Chain A
Amino acid sequence: MKNNNNIPRRDFLFTGLLTAALGGCNDKKNPFAQDEVVLTGEKVKLLSVDGEVIEIDKAFLKPIPDVPHLTNAEEREGIPGKKFVMVIDLARCKNLRKCQSACNHMHQVHPGQNWIKVLGMEDADHTAPYWQPTTCMHCDEPPCVKVCPVDATFKRQDGIVLIDNERCIGCRFCMAACPYSARVFNWEETLMASQGGSEEHHHHNSGPTSVAHQVKGTVGKCDFCPEMTRQGELPHCVSACPNGVFMFGDLNEDTVTNGAETFRFSELIKDKAGYRLMEDLGTKPSVYYLPPVNRNFPYESGLEKETGDEK
């Protein structure tokens, strides 16, 4: 964790991605033997942070020592002592969808699909419209987990609901069960596989992404970026939002932050009258919303994005 603070974040992410993509190379003994790189001549295709496919020699791939390699069981446990919550401030959202693009990019979500949706809401004819980003609600009584026949989707003790894409049989009962329509399905070859990278390398990775990545024929959804939270970093949507709409934190510490500002969770919810979606269903979401009052932007400012985006 120590040397991690020195490297710029993008670089860190990049190397992280490499390891994630090529966990097969983990058997190389000395990770610091950088100077003695012998080119193998074997090229591998990788997706860079800029979304381009790059080709590099296999010899450059090396594991990162400070990313703990977790077993499936450990990953299912979650991070001890944590209870993650998210607060989404509707007064700050102007439908920029930076959260969406960052999320899609970092999780290799298939084009057209989104783990985060920014919905233009209008509850009734004469009520005010507002923009509502929706993520997975990471319910404490998750209807999706209830119906999964093979324990492929599960609730961790830190509150995160995850999918084990190596176990999912693709029955899609969880998608029918989720009232928030948070789940998407990998209908075809995943982005990683179709751009030349191989799903196989993912498969053999027992690292932190072992239970949360894209596999054809299985279900995907917002995962609260468990590999980020394990390193004490914020989920990608939180750091991508320039307006600080998303606040993420730990209920046990009673703290949430959007990176720039930090709040006492209980006070924030109390002061701004926070609420959760579809409370009457009894799903007990971990995502709280702050009502769109005293808005930073008029609703209309978000329409630009809407017309530019949709066909």
Chain B
Amino acid sequence: MSNLSTLTNGRRSAEQITGDLVPQPFGKRGMIWVSVLIVLCLIGAFAYFRQLQEGLVVTGMRDYVSWGIYISNFVFFVAISLVGSLITAIFRLANVEWSTPLTRIAEIIAVSAITFASLIIIVDMGRPERLYNLLLHGRLQSPITWDVIVITTYFFISLLLLYLPLLPDLKILNGQKTKNLPWQNKIYTFLGSFWKGSEEQFKISEKAISILCIMIIPVAFCIHTVTSWLFATTYRPGWDSTNFGAYFISGAFLVGSGGVIVAMYVFRKYYHLEKYITELHFEKMGRIAVMLSLIYLYFNVNEYLVPAFKMKKSEAAHLEELFTGEFSLMFWFAILVGMIIPIFVMLFKAGRKPFPMFIVGMMIVVGAWFKRYLIVTPTLLHPFLPMQNVPDNYMHYFPTWEEWAITIGSLAGALLIITFFVRIFPIIPIHETITEQHEKAEHISVSK
């Protein structure tokens, strides 16, 4: 089946491919989707407006749980953004050829996620208007400063890795001005009119992409390692772990690949891209996701089993809460739904078909979101000195509606960026697809 589809693909002309892949206007369902996202964003914006007026008192955070879902959501965004480096850079350097149709999906997920990671961290600040102090008085010894530096770097590299491969496609889109809407033409001209597609330009662009692909890997490792260090550099039980960097990165690649799988399925279905995002792609992504789940599971075993074996006093209260206490339901949900069940589904060939993969992708992403919550909150409820002399609500944490609204709004905002991007730009690289088809066709004719 997959062979057949690649064969028929090979015979499609450049015009057909372009016709298939140019951005499409939103249909009725698309409009509903966009409206819902915009409404969610507006509710989030209103909640943030309230928070700015009243202060962080509108959140459920208090002196013990001083970081809540804003921070876990931040970790989630940083995690999911790592997939850009995996699919664009690591696959490219490993000469994985089938990943071409997925690169742009991965890269736009990376860019929108890292954008909202930065925004949500500002939302968490008690004094966002003093952000400039980071430049004025920034101190290099603080892991937050490291995070600011590497996240900014990662954002720009990701943006370039999104933009440079887009240039040949912009030329194609600029070549069919009559088919585009006027505002589209304006964007295409502004972004890509300098690109003539000359051999020299291609050479420069190829070289730049190669350099960026190598650069982005250490930077990607840095952003999530440093994010893990925001926790691991403290003394607290559950955070005080040398395992944290690797644990975070393995989890990040897993949630990112889950995100890409979901996006692949949705775009394929909605834009009828079955010829481009084939079952083969789901099959391959499934194998990768199984591997990533197993790696993440391995680090989880390290993270929980080793302290649980010793049950040091400070760790014991925290671990008991996770395993059998207040957070046990969420904990086992995150472990089972986020890792174990996906592994079992994807181990079977039938589980790596598009629809089961879509479900598994959702499970991974949702499980990962709750996993981040579990990393941040329960630890803060187990300080070294007992929680006393504080009002009752200081000893528990449950996010308020403002926090939920802002968090959901940020997730909706990230999806909105991706949605608008797909409306404006081809989500599957047209030029690269055409080139690959030509190469394949030549290859087939030679072998015949």
Q: Beta-carbon contacts of A84-119 to B below 8 Å, as 1s and 0s?
A: 000000000000000010000000000011100111
A147–B142 CB distance below 8 A: yes
Q: Beta-carbon contacts of B226-269 to A below 8 Å, as 1s and 0s?
A: 00001101111001000000000000000000000000000000
Report Cα–Cα, A186/B384, bound state, in Å: 22
Identify which of A120, A151, A219 gathers the most chain B CB atoms within 10 Å of its CB.
Answer: A151
B67–A176 CB distance below 8 A: yes
Report Cα–Cα, A158/B61, bound state, in Å: 33
Interface locus among A8-16, A177-185, A237-245: A177-185
**Could you tell me which residues of chain B, from 297 to 354, have a CB within 8 Å of some CB in chain A?**
none
A167, A173, A184, A187: the one contacting B130 at CB < 8 Å is A167
Chain A minimum-CB-distance residue to B131: A169
Q: Is A148 an interface residue (CB 8 A)?
A: yes
* Contact A175-B63, Cβ < 8 Å, known A112-B391, A119-B385, A120-B388: yes
Identify which of A148, A151, A216, A217 gathers the most chain B CB atoms within 10 Å of its CB.
Answer: A217
Report Cα–Cα, A172/B59, bound state, in Å: 14
A146–B142 CB distance below 8 A: yes
Identify which of B56, B64, B125, B127 gathers the most chain A CB atoms within 10 Å of its CB.
Answer: B127
Chain A residues with CB under 8 Å of B235's CB are: 143, 177, 179, 281
Report Cα–Cα, A286/B141, bound state, in Å: 23
What number of A residues sit within 8 Å (CB to CB) of B?
45
Report Cα–Cα, A120/B385, bound state, in Å: 10
A172–B66 CB distance below 8 A: yes
Report Cα–Cα, A119/B388, bound state, in Å: 6
Report Cα–Cα, A234/B130, bound state, in Å: 34
Report Cα–Cα, A118/B388, bound state, in Å: 8
B380–A278 CB distance below 8 A: no
Report Cα–Cα, A168/B131, bound state, in Å: 10
Chain B residues with CB under 8 Å of A173's CB are: 142-144, 230
Q: Beta-carbon contacts of A114-156 to B below 8 Å, as 1s and 0s?
A: 1001111100000000000010000000010011111110000
Chain B residues with CB under 8 Å of A118's CB are: 388-389
A147 to chain B, nearest CB (A): 5
Chain B residues with CB under 8 Å of A302's CB are: none
B57, B66, B384: the one contacting A179 at CB < 8 Å is B384
A134, A147, A170, A184: the one contacting B125 at CB < 8 Å is A170
Report Cα–Cα, A143/B141, bound state, in Å: 11
Interface locus among B89-97, B132-140, B166-174: B132-140
A168–B126 CB distance below 8 A: yes
Q: Is B440 an interface residue (CB 8 A)?
A: no
Report Cα–Cα, A281/B237, bound state, in Å: 13
B56–A185 CB distance below 8 A: yes
Q: Beta-carbon contacts of B360-393 to A below 8 Å, as 1s and 0s?
A: 0000000000000000000010011111111110
What is the interface residue range for chain B against chain A? 35 or more
Q: Is A189 an interface residue (CB 8 A)?
A: yes
Report Cα–Cα, A150/B139, bound state, in Å: 6
Chain A residues with CB under 8 Å of B130's CB are: 150, 167-170
Q: Is B54 an interface residue (CB 8 A)?
A: yes
**Could you tell me which residues of chain A, from 170 to 206, have a CB within 8 Å of some CB in chain B?**
170-173, 175-177, 179-181, 183-189
Report Cα–Cα, A191/B235, bound state, in Å: 32
Q: Is B62 an interface residue (CB 8 A)?
A: yes
Chain A residues with CB under 8 Å of B142's CB are: 146-149, 173
Chain A residues with CB under 8 Å of B383's CB are: 179, 181
A150–B236 CB distance below 8 A: no
Chief secondary structure at chain A's binding surface: loop
Chain B residues with CB under 8 Å of A171's CB are: 124-126, 144
Chain A residues with CB under 8 Å of B433's CB are: none
Report Cα–Cα, A136/B137, bound state, in Å: 24
B392–A311 CB distance below 8 A: yes
Chain A residues with CB under 8 Å of B385's CB are: 117, 119, 134, 180-181
Q: How many A-B residue pairs have CB under 8 A?
A: 144
Chain B residues with CB under 8 Å of A179's CB are: 234-236, 383-384
Report Cα–Cα, A100/B383, bound state, in Å: 21
B66–A185 CB distance below 8 A: yes
Report Cα–Cα, A180/B235, bound state, in Å: 10
B56, B61, B144: the one contacting A147 at CB < 8 Å is B144
Chain A residues with CB under 8 Å of B386's CB are: 119-121
Q: Is A210 an interface residue (CB 8 A)?
A: no
A188–B55 CB distance below 8 A: yes
B56–A187 CB distance below 8 A: yes
Report Cα–Cα, A147/B137, bound state, in Å: 13
Q: Is A257 an interface residue (CB 8 A)?
A: no
Chain B residues with CB under 8 Å of A216's CB are: 55, 126
Chain A residues with CB under 8 Å of B380's CB are: 176
Q: Is B180 an interface residue (CB 8 A)?
A: no
B62–A147 CB distance below 8 A: no
* Contact A149-B138, Cβ < 8 Å, known A179-B384, A217-B56: yes
A167–B144 CB distance below 8 A: no
Chain A residues with CB under 8 Å of B57's CB are: 187-188
Chain B minimum-CB-distance residue to A219: B126
Q: Beta-carbon contacts of A215-228 to B below 8 Å, as 1s and 0s?
A: 01111000000000
A149–B127 CB distance below 8 A: no
Chain A minimum-CB-distance residue to B389: A117
Report Cα–Cα, A114/B390, bound state, in Å: 8
Report Cα–Cα, A282/B219, bound state, in Å: 32
Report Cα–Cα, A175/B230, bound state, in Å: 12
A218 to chain B, nearest CB (A): 6
* Contact A147-B67, Cβ < 8 Å, known A114-B390, A167-B130, A172-B126: no
Chain B residues with CB under 8 Å of A185's CB are: 56, 62-63, 66, 126
Chain B residues with CB under 8 Å of A170's CB are: 56, 125-128, 130
A218–B127 CB distance below 8 A: yes
A172–B67 CB distance below 8 A: yes
Report Cα–Cα, A307/B143, bound state, in Å: 42
Q: Is B145 an interface residue (CB 8 A)?
A: yes
B56 to chain A, nearest CB (A): 5
* Contact A184-B63, Cβ < 8 Å, known A148-B139, A189-B55, A218-B126: yes
Report Cα–Cα, A148/B141, bound state, in Å: 8
Chain A residues with CB under 8 Å of B134's CB are: 149-150, 169
A305 to chain B, nearest CB (A): 11
Residues of A within 8 A of B (CB): 100, 112-114, 117-121, 134, 143, 146-152, 167-173, 175-177, 179-181, 183-189, 216-219, 278, 281, 311
Of all A-B residue pairs in the complex, the 8 with the closest CB atoms, nearest first, are A170-B126, A217-B126, A188-B57, A149-B144, A149-B142, A187-B57, A117-B389, A175-B66
Residues of B within 8 A of A (CB): 54-57, 59, 61-64, 66-67, 124-128, 130-131, 133-134, 136-139, 141-145, 148, 230-231, 233-236, 239, 380, 383-392, 394
Known: A114-B389, A169-B127, A173-B230. 7 other contacts (CB 8 A): A100-B389, A112-B394, A117-B388, A169-B130, A172-B66, A177-B233, A184-B63
